[in-house]
């Protein structure tokens, strides 16, 4: 199991980016969360098989229709927190 903290920049709020992230993560059977940040970024934490997390990251680089992703920063974390699902969190 692996864990990644993902920070997405660009036009990623107000375009259903969190819903898109939740749907894709659940399809990949990942656990974790996604949230909007006050500075306009979207932040996510994904736990699961590393290859599946990398698949999610590829999808987040594209985003849903209407979004304009300009950057995706990934930080692999040493610990694997336990989550029961993949959900939206509020800042």
| Active-site residue identified among 5, 24, 29, 36 | 36
Residue with tokens 């985003």: 63
List the catalytic residue out of 18, 35, 61, 89.
Answer: 18
Active site annotation includes 36:
yes
> Does the annotation count 18 as an active-site position?
yes
- Which are the contacts of 87, defined by CB distance < 8 A and separation ≥ 6? 22, 33, 34
**Residues that are catalytic:** 18, 36
């Amino acid at each position: 199991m692996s864990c990644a903290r993902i920070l997405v920049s660009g036009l990623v709020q107000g375009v259903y980016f969190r819903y898109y992230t939740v749907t894709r993560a659940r399809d990949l059977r990942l656990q974790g969360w996604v949230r909007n940040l006050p500075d306009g970024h979207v932040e996510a934490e994904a736990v699961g098989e590393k290859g599946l997390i990398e698949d999610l990251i590829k999808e987040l680089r594209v985003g849903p229709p209407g979004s304009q992703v300009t950057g995706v920063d990934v930080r692999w974390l040493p610990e694997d927190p336990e989550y029961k699902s993949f959900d939206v969190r509020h800042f």
